[in-house]
Amino acid sequence: MSGIDELPPLREVIARHGLSARKALGQNFLLDLNLTAKIARQAGDLTQADVLEIGPGPGGLTRGLLASGARHVVAVEKDPRCLPALQEIAEAYPGRLTVLQGDALEVDAFAHLTPPVKIAANLPYNVGTELLIRWLTPETWPPRWQTLTLMFQREVAQRIVARPGDKAYGRLAILSQWRADPRIVMDLPPGAFTPPPKVSSAVVHIEALPEPRYPADPAVLSRVVAAAFNQRRKMLRASLRGLAPDIEDRLREAGIAPTDRAEQIEIERFCALARLLQAS
């Protein structure tokens, strides 16, 4: 007995299926089922939701999600070596786990999911930020997911929740906070994983807001923020010069001093500037 289900302990599963961790696939496994159950709980009530999991690996978090009552889990795993272990979990939870083998950047997992959808994953670090950016920039808002509960390197988690004036404040913070609400809900030391990564990790829980906090066209806002943080140490009148001939006036109208730097500016002000640039 492993504690949360009738399946064998993960160490045994890994040994039996020869799942030696591969660095190229970002494989740092969570083997403590109490911990994976705790991460699953951070995703909230799953009983009425479909859950998308990226990178289930040997299935520790998958088991946590199913044991905490997820209606249906769709798990996308690139490494075919993990499939037999995941198949055993599918058999223990009949009809509740669908495993898709492939690259999460290519597979259309939403085609297999019924709303409401929650996303939960101990992400492979090499594709984690790219997936997050895609989830935060769908064609229409609200997105097809309600919440994201994701493991990141702690440094990335800090960039997601950073506030103006923080060293980590930049494009990722603005993207994450403009139309969603991110919080760091757990910190994990390297030793929580097998093998341990070099850096600490954190779980971030992100709730989609029904609509953006402040109105702005996503493409214009993205251009403004990209230009502003591309040269984050420069004054905005210099870094944003290319966006409009009268940028200093536009900045003042948006409530921003032309001599301010990007890292000081609230999302509300960037949105005001994006609206003014779009109108002019």
- Annotated binding site: which residue ranges? 28, 30, 55, 77, 103, 122
56 counts as binding ligand SAM under rule CB under 6 A: yes
30 counts as binding ligand SAM under rule CB under 6 A: yes
Would you list which residues are annotated within the binding site for S-adenosyl-L-methionine? 28, 30, 55, 77, 103, 122
Rounded Cα distance, 237 and 235, in Å:
6
Using CB under 6 A, which of 60, 143, 182, 218 touches ligand SAM? 60
Exposed e or buried b per residue across 187-202, where buried means at least 16 C-beta atoms within 10 angstroms of its C-beta: ebeeebbbeebeebbb
Taking the complex as a whole, the smallest distance from the CB of residue 256 to ligand SAM amounts, in Å, to 39
Cβ proximity to ligand SAM: between 54 and 136 the closer is 54
Using CB under 6 A, which of 103, 155, 187, 246 touches ligand SAM? 103
What tokens were used for 199?
Answer: 């850096």
DSSP strands (E only) in the chain: 50-54, 72-77, 97-101, 117-122, 147-153, 180-188, 201-208
Is residue 64 a contact partner of residue 56, using CB atoms and an 8 Å limit? no
| Sign of the torsion angle spanned by Cα atoms 19, 5, 101, 156 | negative
Among the listed ranges 90-98, 101-109, 112-120, 256-264, the one in contact with ligand SAM (CB under 6 A) is 101-109
Is residue 216 a contact partner of residue 275, using CB atoms and an 8 Å limit? yes
Cβ proximity to ligand SAM: between 135 and 169 the closer is 135
Which residues are at the interface with ligand SAM (CB under 6 A)? 25-30, 54-57, 60-61, 76-79, 82, 103-105, 122, 124, 127
